[in-house]
């Protein structure tokens, strides 16, 4: 049976309750066994090109905490990112039409961008410049080749794209055609006029690349006043999306961009994934099947303005719900806008002294799902009624998601608690999935006193494993439980001597097969057995196995322990108070991710004996029994200590 690690995450955010519930409201969550793949590229981000960096190192060095930047969990970077893609000339590394950034001569070249993606170990996504029409794009820019006719511009842009594919063949595999042409005065026919020929040329150069079309998929555009454009644009994409470029499809996915904070009241935004995007992704899948669905740019709406406050816990709750919704709905690519800026919408803080951002906390928490599998879940939860688009809708206080890690050994269950004041008393049923539940469960918690807090407060703890599991989820919190199989971490163990005598020490060195921080030794009494070869633990305190633990300052694989005679020469309360004489020592390691203790392994077991002077019968005591053994071996108890008798019997 496959061993499985189970991770459970819970989120909470405020919505005014319709009625007062009990202090703990009951919820039942059942994890099913049906699964489908999760794209690893949902946890992507924009690298927005108009920020004035000229090298990857300049960008990396801006962050005084670059390790956090690297370990954020981002899996893809989109470039040039938004409006700059409509004006960027990659050969000369210029944004020729940019008109509202004073110094647009500074720009990260494609080579430097790929250096950054290599550093972060993420996949690059390139937004191809298809802006051939005269006039401005959505950000007020003009096209890259002014003075030419639209037809001449098309030819230039097609050749630019082919040259890009040729130059970076094997380095850039994912492309999207344009930024937001549906917002820049392009009709569906005008977009089609460039999309087809440019895709044909790019696929001819390299048939293995993947290309995305830009469309509407969310079916909710009230705030953008684009209702009249939605249906014609979708119909255009449907007409060409299955076109062939030689022996391969011209297009591999369909994408949109969206602004979540626009046109929604603050009490609605956290529910947008439930009320808006869940059905939108379903509809898009029906429209564009068999193509994949993407959201290559997702914004919180005017997030570059510090006053927007998009780094609050309120938005952090929304980000996690959105990421999990996209995982559940099979979204292919999603890029958070953005990773580069210093504004409140930036994914990560720039200085170690800066407070955590809720967005980076959420990414770090849930990106463990990237590339895994999503499972079906069923949640029975109290609901509240809210008004959305003129309709009354019941929404649950608790929602749930579940998914496996990429290697299939980790199961993640996400529980989202929407209540501002009440705990969710969760009964979690894992009977339908094959689980390996034993030992300890790691508990990661993000919590906040208010949705207006800038970021979450984090903590880590452990609890005992069980299945089914009951757990209390606090309000306005994210709880992640990790139920893991005990890992095989032992490589070897050595001991400096097989004997420990008064005044001496022995040294035990244990080595793990992967870097860890926590090591410990557990001691067992070979004179006190459960059965053959199965020693009982030594208790120097009632009911507590004697152990010695150490924590390294950083991840390492080897730890040295010194055992003193005084440490072990004590009565074993698990063996009628007799001092141990034959000791077995098991070396263990704590997995730094799951916090599970490693499995026992013969390679990490060492043994030694304790010498007790005068303990002739090796029972750990010097007493009358040792005296009687002397008498039995050497003579009369009244004369044994007479020197002359001893000499007479045994010689000098």
* Domain end marker among 356, 371, 386: 371
Average pLDDT over residues 376-399: 82
Q: Do both 404 and 273 map to the same domain? A: no
C-alpha to C-alpha distance for 253 and 211, rounded to whole angstroms: 7
- pLDDT at residue 16 above 70? no
- pLDDT at residue 347 above 90? no
CATH of the domain at 597: 2.60.40.10
CATH of the domain at 474: 2.60.40.1180
Q: Do both 332 and 418 map to the same domain? A: no
Q: Do both 531 and 462 map to the same domain? A: no
Q: Let me know the angle formed at the C-alpha of 513 by 512 and 516, rounded to the nearest 5 degrees.
A: 55
Minimum mean pLDDT among 308-312, 405-409, 576-580, 629-633: which range?
A: 308-312
Is residue 602 very low, low, confident or very high in pLDDT (cuts 50, 70, 90)? Answer: very high
C-alpha to C-alpha distance for 405 and 95, rounded to whole angstroms: 40
13 versus 195: the higher-pLDDT residue is 195
Q: What is the pLDDT of residue 205?
A: 98
Average pLDDT over residues 394-401: 86
Range among 115-119, 223-227, 616-620 with highest mean pLDDT value: 115-119
Q: Do both 117 and 252 map to the same domain? A: yes
Percent of the residues in the chain that have a pLDDT greater than 70, as a whole number: 78
Minimum mean pLDDT among 65-69, 211-215, 335-339, 468-472: which range?
A: 65-69
Q: Let me know the angle formed at the C-alpha of 492 by 490 and 495, rounded to the nearest 5 degrees.
A: 130
Q: Do both 409 and 499 map to the same domain? A: no
Q: What is the pLDDT of residue 305?
A: 38
Q: What is the pLDDT of residue 308?
A: 43
Q: Which residues pair with 127 in a beta bridge?
A: 176
CATH of the domain at 266: 3.20.20.80
- The two structure tokens encoding residue 591: 């997995």
Q: What is the pLDDT of residue 600?
A: 94
pLDDT in tens, 78-111: 999 888 888 888 998 887 665 555 445 567 899 9
- pLDDT at residue 3 above 50? no
- pLDDT at residue 256 above 50? yes
Phi then psi for residue 108, to 5 deg, are -75, 120
Average pLDDT over residues 68-87: 86
Q: What is the pLDDT of residue 389?
A: 60
Tell me, what DSSP letter sits at residue 580? P
C-alpha to C-alpha distance for 319 and 346, rounded to whole angstroms: 13
Q: Do both 442 and 317 map to the same domain? A: no
DSSP 161-182: HHHHHHHTTTT--EEEE-S-GG
* Domain end marker among 318, 350, 371: 371
Q: Do both 10 and 88 map to the same domain? A: no
Q: Do both 44 and 23 map to the same domain? A: no
259 versus 514: the higher-pLDDT residue is 514
Is residue 647 very low, low, confident or very high in pLDDT (cuts 50, 70, 90)? Answer: low
* Domain end marker among 313, 347, 371: 371
491 versus 639: the higher-pLDDT residue is 491
User: Average per-residue pLDDT in the chain?
Assistant: 82
Contacts for 93 with CB less than 8 Å, ≥ 6 apart = 107, 109, 110
Range among 302-306, 329-333, 472-476 with highest mean pLDDT value: 329-333
Helices assigned H by DSSP within 248-396: 272, 278-288, 313-328, 358-366
Task: Please report, for residues 420, 627, 633, 640, 641, the alpha-carbon distance to residue 646 in angstroms, rounded to integers and kept in the order given.
Answer: 88, 16, 12, 6, 7
Spell out a b/e string for 158-192, using b for 16 or more CB atoms within 10 Å of the CB, else e.
bebbbebbeebeeebbbbbbbbbbbebebebebbb
Q: Do both 111 and 167 map to the same domain? A: yes
C-alpha to C-alpha distance for 25 and 102, rounded to whole angstroms: 55
Is residue 17 very low, low, confident or very high in pLDDT (cuts 50, 70, 90)? Answer: very low
Minimum mean pLDDT among 22-36, 255-269, 394-408: which range?
A: 255-269
Q: Do both 447 and 543 map to the same domain? A: no
- The two structure tokens encoding residue 390: 């003129």
Q: What is the pLDDT of residue 454?
A: 80
Spatial contact of 500 and 568, defined as CB atoms under 8 Å apart: yes
- pLDDT at residue 623 above 80? no
Is residue 618 very low, low, confident or very high in pLDDT (cuts 50, 70, 90)? Answer: low
Q: Do both 118 and 230 map to the same domain? A: yes
Q: What is the pLDDT of residue 492?
A: 98
Percent of the residues in the chain that have a pLDDT greater than 90, as a whole number: 44
Q: Do both 437 and 332 map to the same domain? A: no
Spatial contact of 536 and 574, defined as CB atoms under 8 Å apart: yes
Is residue 12 very low, low, confident or very high in pLDDT (cuts 50, 70, 90)? Answer: very low
361 versus 652: the higher-pLDDT residue is 361
Q: What is the pLDDT of residue 265?
A: 41
Peptide bond into 573 cis (omega under 30): no
Q: What is the pLDDT of residue 409?
A: 80
Range of the domain at 643: 622-652
Number of domains in the chain: 4
- pLDDT at residue 583 above 90? yes
């Amino acid at each position: 049976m496959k061993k499985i690690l189970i991770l459970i995450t819970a989120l909470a955010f405020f919505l005014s309750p319709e009625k007062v519930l009990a202090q703990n409201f009951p919820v039942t969550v059942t994890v099913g066994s049906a699964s489908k793949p999760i794209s690893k590229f949902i946890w992507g981000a924009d690298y927005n090109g108009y920020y004035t960096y000229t090298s990857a190192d300049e960008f990396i060095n801006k962050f005084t905490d670059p390790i956090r930047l690297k370990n954020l969990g981002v899996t893809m970077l989109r470039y040039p990112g938004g409006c700059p893609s409509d004006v960027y000339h990659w050969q000369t590394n210029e944004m020729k039409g940019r008109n509202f950034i004073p110094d647009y001569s500074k720009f990260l070249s494609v080579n430097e961008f790929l250096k950054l993606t290599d550093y972060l170990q993420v996949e690059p996504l390139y937004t191809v410049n298809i802006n051939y029409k005269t006039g401005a794009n959505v950000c007020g820019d003009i096209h890259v080749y002014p003075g030419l006719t639209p037809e001449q511009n098309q030819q230039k842009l097609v050749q630019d794209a082919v040259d890009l594919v040729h130059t970076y063949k094997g380095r850039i595999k994912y492309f999207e055609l344009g930024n937001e042409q549906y917002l820049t005065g392009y009709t569906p026919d005008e977009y089609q006029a460039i999309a087809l020929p440019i895709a044909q040329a790019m696929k001819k150069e390299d048939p293995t690349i993947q290309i995305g079309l830009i469309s509407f998929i969310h079916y909710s555009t009230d705030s953008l006043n684009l209702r009249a454009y939605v249906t014609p644009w979708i119909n255009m994409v449907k007409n060409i999306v299955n076109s062939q470029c030689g022996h391969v499809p011209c297009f591999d996915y369909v994408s949109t961009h969206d602004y979540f904070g626009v046109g929604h009241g603050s009490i609605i935004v956290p529910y947008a994934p439930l009320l808006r995007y869940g059905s939108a992704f379903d509809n898009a899948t029906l429209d564009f099947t068999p193509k994949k669905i993407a959201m290559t740019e997702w914004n919180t709406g005017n997030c570059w303005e510090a006053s927007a406050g998009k780094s609050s816990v309120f938005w952090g709750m929304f980000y996690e719900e959105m990421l999990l919704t996209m995982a559940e709905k099979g979204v292919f690519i999603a890029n958070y806008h953005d990773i580069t800026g210093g504004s409140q919408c930036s994914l990560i803080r720039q200085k170690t002294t800066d407070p955590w951002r809720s967005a980076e906390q959420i990414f770090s928490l849930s990106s463990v799902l990237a590339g895994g599998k999503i499972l079906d879940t069923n949640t029975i939860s109290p609901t509240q009624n809210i008004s959305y688009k003129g309709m009354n809708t019941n929404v649950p206080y608790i929602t749930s998601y579940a998914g496996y890690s990429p290697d299939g050994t980790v199961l993640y269950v996400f529980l989202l608690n929407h209540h501002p004041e009440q705990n969710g008393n969760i009964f979690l049923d894992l009977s339908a999935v094959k689980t390996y539940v034993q030992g300890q469960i790691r508990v990661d918690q993000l919590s906040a006193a208010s949705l207006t807090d800038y970021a979450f407060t984090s903590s880590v703890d452990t609890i005992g494993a069980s299945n089914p599991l009951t757990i209390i989820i606090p309000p306005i919190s994210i709880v992640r439980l990790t139920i893991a199989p005990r890992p095989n971490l032992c490589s070897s163990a050595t001991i400096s001597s097989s004997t420990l005598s008064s005044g001496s020490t022995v040294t035990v060195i244990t080595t793990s097969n992967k870097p860890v921080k926590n090591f410990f030794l557990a001691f067992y009494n070979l004179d006190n057995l459960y059965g053959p070869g199965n020693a009982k633990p030594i208790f120097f305190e009632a009911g507590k196995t004697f152990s010695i633990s150490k924590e390294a300052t950083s991840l390492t694989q080897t730890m040295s322990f010194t055992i003193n005679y005084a440490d072990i020469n004590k009565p074993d309360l698990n063996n009628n108070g007799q001092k141990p004489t034959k000791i077995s020592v098991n070396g263990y390691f704590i997995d730094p991710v799951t916090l599970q203790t490693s499995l026992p392994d013969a390679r990490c077991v060492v043994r030694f004996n304790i010498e007790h002077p005068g303990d002739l019968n090796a029972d750990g005591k010097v007493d009358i029994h040792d005296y009687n053994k002397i008498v039995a071996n050497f003579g009369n108890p009244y004369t044994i200590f007479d020197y002359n008798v001893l000499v007479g019997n045994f010689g000098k």
